[in-house]
Structure 1
Amino acid sequence: MSSLRAKIQDVFNEPACGKNRGKDAKARKNGCSKPLIPGAAAGGCAFDGAKIVLQPITDVAHLVHAPLACEGNSWDNRGAASSGPTLWRTSFTTDLTELEVMMGQGERKLFKAIREIKEAYAPPAIFVYSTCVTALIGDDIEAVCKRATEKFGLAVVPVNAPGFVGSKNLGNKLAGEALLDHVIGTVEPDDAGPYDINILGEFNLSGEFWLVKPLLDRLGIRVRACIPGDARYRDVASAHRARAAMMVCSSALINLARKMEQRWEIPFFEGSFYGITDTSEALRQISRLLVKKGADREILDRTETLIAQEEAIAWEKLAAYRPRLEGKRVLLNTGGVKSWSVAHALREIGMEIVGTSVKKSTVEDKQRIKQILKDDNHMFETMAPRELYAMLSEHKAEIMLSGGRTQFIALKAKTPWLDINQERQHAYAGYAGMVELIRQIDLAIHNPIWRQVREPAPWDQPVVQDKLRGTRSETATVHALKSPARQLAASATVEESR
């Protein structure tokens, strides 16, 4: 646990994080997130964050050393896609029971599970994840993994990120530390070249990276490793021979990018593949870094030629949507790189951003937002569901782009909604992805269902209401005449008249 404590402290003191640099020494020791509330860690603990970063390495067996519920809560929590191996889709867990925890049999069962996976699947590596229970009872997964590596002749990688140590974002970074300590640099490629790059913090959600990789292929740029999206173990292990790197999500793996630059002199920049302008700028930045590292300057001209061709195609396709979407108001309830990259992409088509969440955004992200929107009044750290509902029901936005957690707020407000987080079904990266994003927004806003649900219900129509009121008054009169008191009074009147 002492090594884990030192690792966590090292991550907290990350010098490449602009937000961290702005703190004093005391605040820096407290970390980047609020402490977790007991019982509310599902989907947001350090273990979950580590699993998110490493599970898309597709040919690796991911073994969770814990009771069954930990793997059940974390499995398949991202919409990453694979072009080949499917081993990562198989769930492995030691499934510790209360008796095994009490009797101290966790390490023995872990070693046995590693042997069974090796014999049944023969993967190039097994990643072993510690969790709250196994960390608290003191199971030494590093010692077990080391012994298993020697015994079975394959890489068994310990991932020390038990849930109680912090937030999901901390788990992202601890996963990066595991790669640095046990994976990257362990394989020497025999085909390293001057046009090799790494893409860091790209998860290939809904196959998004597959829209970008063909562009790099046309430029003769090879992706040595995309970490973690659609990755292979040997590619990650040989990532130290890349010449440059692009950081897609700095809030997740900035420590990985910085330390790779220190150890292997791999320069990096943070960019985005969302939107036409940002995609073009990312391609230019990659080419410039490669030239600085010794590549032929001719790649700069080829990059500009490719950008001109792809931008012309994309703008031609987008021209049909501009009259339908220009001036439409959008609320972005997301964070991180999407807080500014998607905002920039939508501004290109003429849409108005009325608000964007910066909850998971870095200082650099916030600066980009200010440059794009020219106003920080549209930035909000958090917005309560009641405030979101009020904003949408008052028609201050015509569509909300967010994750699945807030979709029902938009639906209750009878406002179009589009998923742009990890559960999304469409790929929005690159030039083709930008066209698809705009197409989906157009479909959502102009879906005829919204006109129908906003109309009064049939029983709330004025004519129907008048009829209902008339029917109610007639019914009330009939009921009054049929009441026993009225019938008795009527009989008495008849007798008197006789």
Structure 2
Amino acid sequence: MDSGVLQERADSIIIKRSGDHGCRQMDCEKASVAGSVSQRACVYCGARVVLNPITDAYHIIHGPIGCASYTWDIRGSLTSDSDLFRQSYSTDLREKDIIFGGAEKLKRAIDEIAITKQAKLIFVYATCIVGVIGDDIEAVCREAEEKHGIRVIPVKAPGFSGTKSQGYKLACDAIMNLIGNSPYKDIKKQGVNILGDFNLAGEIWLIKKYLKKIGIPVVSTITGDSSYASLMKAPSAALNVVQCAGSSVYLAKQMEETFGIPYFRVSFFGVEDTSQSIMHVAEAIGSEATIQQARVFTESEREKSLLFLKRYLPHFEGKKAAIYVGGGFKAISLIRQFREMGIDTVVVGTQTGKKEDYEVIENLVKPNTVILDDTNPAELEMFMRKMHADILVGGVKERPLAYKLGIAFCDHNHERKHALGGYEGVVNFTREVNLSLNSPVWNCLAGR
């Protein structure tokens, strides 16, 4: 392994060799190595970002004010109705609360929101400090539900208790807690639920538009542009399609076991993945007429998208990409999308990828590609330099690193304000990559 990599990290870095299948031994799905300054977020953040887009829910962060500010309004999730999720509430625990406990403070906070805001649904998050002092938020939430006659759901998510993936699972458990006794669970199944899409820049509206065009209704979206009422209808769906596998496959499995709803994974990033996903949904629950509509629609959109891409291919010739994103399934989609654009992926990593994700990644990339799990800035910088990457696709934490190295950057994380999913997203992504890669500013940097 290259010098500069911590010995404890060696098994989480694979360099693909011709005919090799090293990713099957990828060391992943574990806590970050102490001292390596991982880019991965904490358990609480994982839970909050999944639940936050529920448009009419109130979120009480039981902990110091910093935890509330860290996750407040950080997603570019859009709403077609309520915008309560844009607000954040905290018990703002101080030194005195650490000594004497913060349960009474939490009770008062719930009472205030339940009475003054006429809330229907409240999520209460336990942060690191609550995990240390041991406030019983489950008991407080049960008492509040009985007192106010509303749903008050605890999310025990101390940041130190695991990884971001554990936060995803806690959020899924909270959703099952909410919909488990839904009055719709025994109704005849119809339509689909879209899981793991958070309506970043309105992307879930694009997916719903595609499915509507081929005659398939969307019952509920989890959790982008969702509401208390729409989530309760989710058990009546015939099928769950999972966009963000890392955050929502666990929920899909629970819903399959509890409600008998089958699921499969989809991706609406890139021309081929979007087309295949639409066809897969149509073939799973549609009639022959629906399948034919889907075939006509996807072929038409595919031709238009490829014609658009063709204009940009000369601008991307010989370019190399590095990818570092949250989940394995998104990384896989981005590799395919870059391949459609004529760009080779030379470095690829994720925060929460699984062994099976890395096996797929290894099969997609060319020999000598560097594959990373839960990397840190030092490693990412070293391998981007070594592989001569021209652009990095990542999130807000990776942007400064790319600019420091003098290479292009594309934000594919939750802060973005324009859609990168669907056929419209192909256009937006291609334009953004072109503008960033071919900006004249790079000619002004010494040594580039």
TM-score by structure 2 length? Answer: 0.86
Structure 1 residue 79: Cα displacement: 2.8
2:142 matched to 1:151?
no
Determine the structure 1 residue equivalent to 2:263.
268
Q: Which amino acid aligns with 1:223?
A: V
Quote the Cα distance in structure 1 between the aligned partners of 2:256 and 2:189.
Answer: 16
Q: Secondary structure at the match of 1:433?
A: helix
Q: Equivalent of 2:282, from 270, 274, 287?
A: 287
Q: Equivalent of 2:391, from 378, 395, 399?
A: 399
Determine the structure 2 residue equivalent to 1:10.
none
Quote the Cα distance in structure 2 between the aligned partners of 1:395 and 1:263.
Answer: 47
Quote the Cα distance in structure 1 between the aligned partners of 2:376 and 2:296.
Answer: 47
1:203-242 alignment, distance < 5 Å? 203-242=198-237
Structure 1 residue 39: Cα displacement: 13
Determine the structure 1 residue equivalent to 2:356.
364
Structure 1 residue 394: Cα displacement: 6.5
Q: Equivalent of 2:373, from 368, 381, 384?
A: 381
Q: Secondary structure at the match of 2:157?
A: coil
Structure 1 residue 328: Cα displacement: 2.0
Determine the structure 1 residue equivalent to 2:99.
102
Structure 1 residue 431: Cα displacement: 0.8
Q: Which amino acid aligns with 2:359?
A: Q
Measured against aligned partners, the alpha-carbon deviations of 1:89-115 in whole angstroms (never above 9, x if no partner) come to 1111122333344334x3222222112
Measured against aligned partners, the alpha-carbon deviations of 1:201-231 in whole angstroms (never above 9, x if no partner) come to 2122232222222111212222222212121
Q: Secondary structure at the match of 2:445?
A: helix
Q: Secondary structure at the match of 1:319?
A: helix
Q: Which has the higher contact order (CA 8 A, sep 6+)?
A: 2
Q: Secondary structure at the match of 2:302?
A: helix
TM-score by structure 1 length? Answer: 0.78
Determine the structure 1 residue equivalent to 2:244.
249
Quote the Cα distance in structure 2 between the aligned partners of 1:62 and 1:42.
Answer: 25
Percent identical across equivalent pairs?
35
2:447 matched to 1:448?
no
Please tell me whether the aligned partners of residues 50 and 171 of structure 2 are also in contact (alpha carbons under 8 angstroms): yes
Determine the structure 2 residue equivalent to 1:469.
none
RMSD of aligned Cα (Å): 2.9
Determine the structure 2 residue equivalent to 1:474.
none
Measured against aligned partners, the alpha-carbon deviations of 1:20-48 in whole angstroms (never above 9, x if no partner) come to xx99xxx9xxx932268599899722112
Determine the structure 2 residue equivalent to 1:333.
324
Quote the Cα distance in structure 1 between the aligned partners of 2:367 and 2:37.
Answer: 35
Structure 1 residue 315: Cα displacement: 1.8
Does 273-282 or 343-352 show the bigger shift?
343-352
Please tell me whether the aligned partners of residues 187 and 234 of structure 1 are also in contact (alpha carbons under 8 angstroms): no
Determine the structure 2 residue equivalent to 1:430.
422
Please tell me whether the aligned partners of residues 392 and 410 of structure 2 are also in contact (alpha carbons under 8 angstroms): yes
2:66 matched to 1:69?
yes
Measured against aligned partners, the alpha-carbon deviations of 1:458-492 in whole angstroms (never above 9, x if no partner) come to xxxxxxxxxxxxxxxxxxxxxxxxxxxxxxxxxxx
Quote the Cα distance in structure 1 between the aligned partners of 2:142 and 2:317.
Answer: 59
Structure 1 residue 308: Cα displacement: 1.3
Q: Secondary structure at the match of 1:397?
A: coil
2:129 matched to 1:142?
no
Determine the structure 2 residue equivalent to 1:259.
254
Q: Secondary structure at the match of 2:179?
A: coil
Please tell me whether the aligned partners of residues 197 and 222 of structure 1 are also in contact (alpha carbons under 8 angstroms): yes
Determine the structure 1 residue equivalent to 2:171.
175
Structure 1 residue 245: Cα displacement: 0.8
Determine the structure 2 residue equivalent to 1:133.
129
Determine the structure 2 residue equivalent to 1:352.
344
Seen in structure 2, the aligned counterparts of structure 1 residues 271 and 417 have a Cα distance that, compared at 3 Å, is same
Q: Which amino acid aligns with 1:368?
A: V
Determine the structure 2 residue equivalent to 1:14.
none
Please tell me whether the aligned partners of residues 392 and 415 of structure 1 are also in contact (alpha carbons under 8 angstroms): no
Determine the structure 2 residue equivalent to 1:34.
31
Structure 1 residue 273: Cα displacement: 0.7
Seen in structure 2, the aligned counterparts of structure 1 residues 46 and 190 have a Cα distance that, compared at 3 Å, is closer
Determine the structure 2 residue equivalent to 1:89.
86
Q: Which amino acid aligns with 1:244?
A: L
Seen in structure 2, the aligned counterparts of structure 1 residues 110 and 432 have a Cα distance that, compared at 3 Å, is same
Measured against aligned partners, the alpha-carbon deviations of 1:338-370 in whole angstroms (never above 9, x if no partner) come to 211011011112222222114532233223223
Q: Secondary structure at the match of 2:96?
A: helix
Q: Whose helix fraction is larger, Structure 1's or Structure 2's?
A: 1
Quote the Cα distance in structure 2 between the aligned partners of 1:110 and 1:202.
Answer: 31
Seen in structure 2, the aligned counterparts of structure 1 residues 121 and 41 have a Cα distance that, compared at 3 Å, is farther
Determine the structure 2 residue equivalent to 1:313.
304
2:113 matched to 1:117?
yes
Please tell me whether the aligned partners of residues 335 and 358 of structure 1 are also in contact (alpha carbons under 8 angstroms): yes
Does 59-68 or 189-198 show the bigger shift?
189-198
Seen in structure 2, the aligned counterparts of structure 1 residues 82 and 39 have a Cα distance that, compared at 3 Å, is farther
Measured against aligned partners, the alpha-carbon deviations of 1:141-171 in whole angstroms (never above 9, x if no partner) come to 2222122112212111111222231111111
Please tell me whether the aligned partners of residues 37 and 377 of structure 2 are also in contact (alpha carbons under 8 angstroms): no
Q: Which amino acid aligns with 2:390?
A: E
Measured against aligned partners, the alpha-carbon deviations of 1:421-477 in whole angstroms (never above 9, x if no partner) come to 223332210111011101111111121121233489xxxxxxxxxxxxxxxxxxxxx
Q: Secondary structure at the match of 1:227?
A: strand
Q: Secondary structure at the match of 1:321?
A: helix
Gaps of 5+ in 2: 1-23
Count of matched residue positions in the alignment of Structure 1 and Structure 2: 423
Q: Secondary structure at the match of 2:414?
A: coil
Does 125-134 or 389-398 show the bigger shift?
389-398
